[in-house]
Structure 1
Amino acid sequence: MSSHEIDEVDVVVVGAGQAGIAMSEHLGARGISHVVLERDRIAERWRTGRWDSLVANGPAWHDRFPGLEFEGLSPDSFAAKDRVADYFAEYARQIDAPVRTGVEVRSVRRREGAPGFEVQTTDGDYLARFVVAATGPFQKPVIPDLVPAGSPVHQLHSSGYRNPGQLPAGGVLVIGAGSSGVQIADELRASGRQVHLAVGPHDRPPRAYRDRDFCWWLGVLGKWDAAAPAAGAEHVTIAVSGAHGGHTVDFRKLAADGITLVGRAAAYDDGVMRFAPDLAANIARGDANLLSLLDEADAYVERNGLDLPEEPEARVLGPDPACVTDPVLELDLAAAGITSIVWATGFAVDYGWLEVDAFDERGRPRHQRGVSVEPGVYFLGLPWQSRRGSSFIWGVWHDAKYLADQIGIQQSYRAYDEAAANAAVAASPIEAAAPAEPDAAPETPTPAEAALTTSGALR
């Protein structure tokens, strides 16, 4: 498409990751014309936006769409990141998704005096009745304003980390102990690096318990469908890993293997990092989360009479390591040999291209289950969009189905308006100059009859 051409389509979907491909499937199933615009390749973040050894955090039987399995993988294995990207590319081919890669969306603006939106891209412009922002939650890496950019220590975000050989020689401070931070710290330690890991508040579920993966437990216990996080837990990370075939994250074992645990990074001054005195409390909170889930799982087994093997060793926590009982509260990075900091501190959204009134004062989408306060705009792939599982592969598929339903409903109202307008024109005096025979049935339907035959919602 040349830069001067304008294409008209019902829906423009921005982003061809898991959210955009799921959206395309459901729109296509409803016969809704659409295009999916992707500035890179399909599922590019999986290929080049993560470290080399990353695997999915859920097993292959769970972290997938209903219409396609991971061919050649054991259902209980954890797909490598490139295999996940290949899966979405394969899925797009299977559903014949109208994906256009290498196309960056520069702006989306509401049309003046006409319905829908003008979408400007690097490869032509579009007119669309609806726009779905399917760019997901991992858009803009967040690095706290703590260590000045000019400091001698090398800094990078986890999204820029690839492997230990990428970092300068010396020790590493990893800040953030969710899934990414834990796995990166463990990999660095295994490579022979001296590693410090800053541990904040977190949930620490078992990777598996009584012969079932934690994804299964969250499902049967109804936790994936929780509509909102518990009070005070809105920003708590989850420490769980699919690395090495999947295992429960155990901070005591990480310490025993040589990683020095510290509390949250609180301040930095003249080469010295200071840590909050909250390490023991954060570890205890993670332990409580683990034990609570084990209690609920045991109760479920007993209530339903399931024959699942008991696993008392899962409750053995062991003694706290010295770095927990006598925590390091400040650290001279140079004296400790630390030459790098890896910030595993998450992401923020970035919708600078979406020029509509759909955001709060912090730039976050204002929406209900992905339906924006701006009519015609939808969001997909957000954490807790409709439930706890929304930002997971299977969860985004179900959220996409809901949004496609909402778009279909809006189309039915549009069909009513068009049918009513057409019927009004057909019944005008100019069109009715030759009257029908007195007993003949009218050839032109009334507005209500037209709507009943053209609107999917009114059939």
Structure 2
Amino acid sequence: MSVEKINTLVVGAGQAGIAMSEHLAAMGVSHLVLERNRIAERWRSERWDSLVANGPAWHDRFPALKFEGISPEAFPPKERMAQYFEDYAAMLKAPVRTGVEVQRVERHVGRPGFRVSTSQGVIEAMNVVAATGPFQIPAYPAIVPADAPVAQLHSSAYKNPGQLADGAVLVVGAGASGSQIAEELRQAGRKVYLSVGEHYRPPRSYRGRDYCWWLGALGLWDEVRIKPKKHVAFAVSGYEGGRTVDFRRLAHAGIELVGLTESYEGGVMRFAEGLARNVAEGDQAYFDVLREADAYIEQNGLPFPPEPEAWELLPDPACLTEPTLSLNLREAGITTVLWATGFKFDYSWLQVNAFHENGEPYHKRGISAESGIYFLGLPNLVNRASSFIYGVWHDAKYIADHILLQQGYMSYEKS
């Protein structure tokens, strides 16, 4: 039986895999993209119904294709995002095969490259790019036992309020996902508790420009002067046309804020102290952006209209000044705990020496410790931009350059 051979195999046909294909094709590198489901499947079926992109349409895209039929300032819904990547792949004539699962990758012995076992046979590749992204296995702390008298749901399985049993909901995690889901549940008439830990809370927009624009203008995408805290929730969202995530506003709308979820025993959930401090640190990050933006506008003489109301904070709600440190879930009427606590990696299929002891990829800018293995689409792969659509496109270009460079070494023959 013949074995298919290719220079570079890209695993995953989401935004990272499609970007990788574009750059490899432009450099004349033969490649194949394998996707176990459909193109951009996570946008289609692994998110809630009302999800929209975190950046506006003018920004959250690849350079060669604009969104049609949608305002540049709008935040495209998830179905439109999936269609965008499908259209992009068609425009590129990208060599994507869907419905093919990569089961195992292992290095050849005694010769270059890798043996890739898939659900449709074996492929041999000189390089493998893991473009499966960060959203692989839902992650949440083992705080509440599985047999506790409350339903537990990860945000990746949440679709809409009607999916949940009647009763109040405790949403754990106050990044973009948690804050948006909490607000949606409250608007649907639910009693909602929102567990807030450390977070980074920028303005959605300021003085007529979206935060994505300010990140670029102020050099914050590149993080030259700052090093953000690791594992801190990024509280910015395009929900309802794009509004700044404001925890005081959410509290005044009826959402009860609680601190970091700490433990559970006998039906009682306990929360850490420090809610007010976490909210204050988020406020500080928010005001830092406003100050830098004002200085930039003045320095460059830009005619952006003042926005004094952006500097105003709502009064502290009672749940912030007198925080709840414990909740009896039954007495509070809580029937669902919704964990908006992110994901962890699953590279069990990648049987190579490219990982730290804790299982995280060992790489620099996506170039792994195992020659010929690359990672793409991970948060902070290079900088803050790596988590955004435009950023992954540029990360892919760097990796494609490296693949071409290494190909030159392998083909060199001394005269």
Counterpart position of 1:23: 20
Give 1:190 deviation, angstroms: 0.5
Partners of 1:137 and 1:349 within 8 A in 2: yes
Counterparts of 1:44-59 in structure 2 under 5 Å?
44-59=41-56
2:261 to 262, 265, 276: 265
Aligned to 1:455: none
Q: Which has the larger radius of gyration?
A: 1
Query: What is the aligned counterpart of 1:97 among 94, 102, 109?
Result: 94
Q: TM-score, normalised by structure 1?
A: 0.89
CA contact (8 A) 1:60 1:79 kept: yes
Aligned pairs for 1:46-445 within 5 A = 46-226=43-223, 230=227, 233-417=229-413, 420=414
- Please list the CA deviations of residues 400-433 of structure 1 after superposition, one character each: whole Å capped at 9, or x if unmatched: 000000000011112213xx4xxxxxxxxxxxxx
Distance apart, 1:199 and its partner CA: 0.5
* C-alpha distance in 2 between matches for 1:92 and 1:10: 19
Q: Distance in 2 between matches of 1:415 and 1:328?
A: 65
Displacement over 2 Å in runs of 4+ = 227-231
Structure 1: segments with no counterpart, 5+ residues = 421-446, 448-459
The Cα of 1:5 is off from its aligned counterpart by: 4.4
- The percentage of aligned residue pairs carrying the same residue is 62
Contact 2:40/2:82 (<8 A) preserved: yes
Which secondary structure state, in structure 2, belongs to the residue aligned with residue 280 of structure 1? helix
CA distance in 1 between counterparts of 2:20 and 2:335 reads 44
Contact 1:164 1:188 in 2 (8 A): yes
Shift of 1:197: 0.2
Q: Distance in 2 between matches of 1:238 and 1:19?
A: 20
Compute the displacement of 1:319 (Å). 1.5
Q: For the Cα contact (< 8 Å) 1:13–1:134, is it kept in 2?
A: yes
Partner SS for 2:412: helix
Please, what is the CA RMSD of the aligned residues? 1.0
1:227/1:387 contact within 8 Å kept = no
Which letter does structure 2 place at the counterpart of 1:241?
Answer: S
Task: Please tell me whether the aligned partners of residues 14 and 39 of structure 2 are also in contact (alpha carbons under 8 angstroms).
Answer: yes
2:151 and 2:335 in contact (8 A); partners too:
yes
Count of residues in Structure 1 that have an aligned counterpart in Structure 2: 415
| Counterparts of 1:228 and 1:265, CA distance in 2 | 32
Show the counterpart of 1:435.
Answer: none
CA distance in structure 2 between the partners assigned to 1:224 and 1:34 by the alignment: 30
- Which stretches in structure 2 are left out of the alignment for 5+ residues? none
Q: Is the 8 A contact 2:249 2:314 kept in 1?
A: no
* Counterparts in 2 of 1:229 and 1:7: CA distance versus 1, 3 Å: farther
- Quote the offset at 1:318 in angstroms: 2.2
1:124 CA drift (Å): 1.2
